[in-house]
């Protein structure tokens, strides 16, 4: 019976500490209507390629029966390319469990397509160098906070602009077999993902995974008849998986 007061005191202290951690850890960021932060991202990107009915070729030179590449295409694929991104976070609290987020960033990711011909000497990997300015906006739906953790899902859209120099896409002086695979500079994407808010004493860390894909084809096909690497492709979508760390 003598130990009861000490047990009650210990339980009271633990309860108060748990309440303090839940309410104050994270620097009180959840209590703010508007707060900011920054992000680091790992990006795994690839093309989703839809081929034409006659994708194997060979494709003739404009106004001639001579093929641009004297071989038949056997395989056309896009390997996963690694990249990274840096950016900022602007988060506006709508309700206790809903936020709207604007997370602009700069993405460095080179995407490529592999062309394999029946004559291996013509097989090649065409790389598209891309540096994107990403402007994503999304709705974040959060669970109730459990101690120092809170799960969430996020969905939204983004507009991206490729800021690579136009000179790197100018192949007008090159022969057919040296032409570039080119994509349009601007695109609208849809995206969705999930994550976990982890509250530390002075900040909140949120690991997140997200899938994104362009809403329309990004293939620049205005010179289709003069480019053997564009001719086999009907549509080409850009998609990626992102692993992000948000610090808020």
In this predicted structure, what is the pLDDT of residue 20? 45
In this predicted structure, what is the pLDDT of residue 165? 58
State pLDDT tens for residues 147-197: 899 999 999 999 999 887 555 677 878 888 888 998 898 999 999 999 999
Question: What is the C-alpha to C-alpha distance for residues 92 and 179, in angstroms, rounded to an integer?
Answer: 46
Q: For residue 121, what is the domain's CATH number?
A: 2.40.160.20
State pLDDT tens for residues 41-57: 999 999 999 999 999 98
Phi/psi at 78 (nearest 5 deg)? -130, 110
Phi/psi at 31 (nearest 5 deg)? -90, -10
Helix H, strand E, coil C: the string for the chain is CCCHHHHHHHHHHHHHHHHHHHHHCCCCHHHCCEEEEEEEEEEEEEEEEEECCCCCCCCECCCCCCECCCCCEEEEECCCEEEEEEEEEEEEEEECCEEEEECCEEEEECEEEEEEECCHHHCEEEEECCEEEEEEEEEEEECCCECCEEEEEEEEEEEEEECCCHHHHCCCCCCHHHCCCCECCEEEEEEEEEEEEEECCCCEEEEEEEEEEECCCCECCCCHHHCCCCCCEEEEEEEEEEEEEEEC
Domain holding 49, by residue range, is 4-247
Q: How many domains does the chain have?
A: 1
Q: For 5-23, what is the mean pLDDT?
A: 47
In this predicted structure, what is the pLDDT of residue 1? 44
pTM of the model: 0.83
Q: Which of 36, 114, 109, 43 is nearest to 73 (CA)?
A: 114
Q: What percent of the chain has pLDDT over 70?
A: 88
Q: For 196-203, what is the mean pLDDT?
A: 92
State pLDDT tens for residues 69-111: 999 999 999 999 999 999 999 999 999 999 999 999 999 988 9
Compute the mean pLDDT over every residue in the chain, rounded to the nearest whole number: 88
């Amino acid at each position: 019976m003598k130990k009861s007061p000490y047990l009650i005191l210990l339980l009271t202290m633990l309860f108060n500490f748990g309440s303090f951690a839940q309410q104050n850890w994270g620097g009180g960021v959840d209590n703010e209507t508007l707060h900011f932060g920054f992000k680091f991202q790992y990006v795994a990107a690839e093309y989703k390629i839809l081929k034409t009915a006659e994708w194997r070729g060979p494709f003739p030179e404009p106004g001639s029966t001579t093929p641009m590449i004297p071989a038949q295409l056997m395989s056309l694929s896009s390997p996963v390319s690694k990249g990274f991104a840096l950016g900022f976070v602007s988060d506006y609290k709508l309700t206790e469990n809903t936020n709207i987020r604007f997370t602009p960033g700069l993405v460095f990711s080179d995407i490529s397509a592999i062309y394999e011909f029946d004559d291996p000497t013509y097989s090649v990997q065409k790389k598209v160098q891309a540096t994107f300015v990403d402007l994503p906006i999304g709705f974040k739906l959060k669970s109730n906070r459990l101690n120092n953790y809170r799960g969430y899902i996020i969905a939204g859209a983004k507009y991206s602009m490729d800021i690579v120099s136009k000179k790197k896409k100018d192949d007008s002086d090159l022969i057919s077999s040296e032409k570039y695979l080119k994509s349009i500079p601007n695109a609208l994407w849809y995206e969705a993902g999930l994550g976990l808010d982890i509250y530390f004493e002075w900040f909140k860390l949120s690991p997140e995974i997200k899938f994104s894909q362009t809403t329309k084809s990004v293939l620049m096909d205005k010179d289709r008849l003069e480019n053997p690497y564009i001719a086999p492709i009907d549509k080409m979508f850009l998609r990626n998986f992102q692993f992000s760390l948000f610090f808020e």
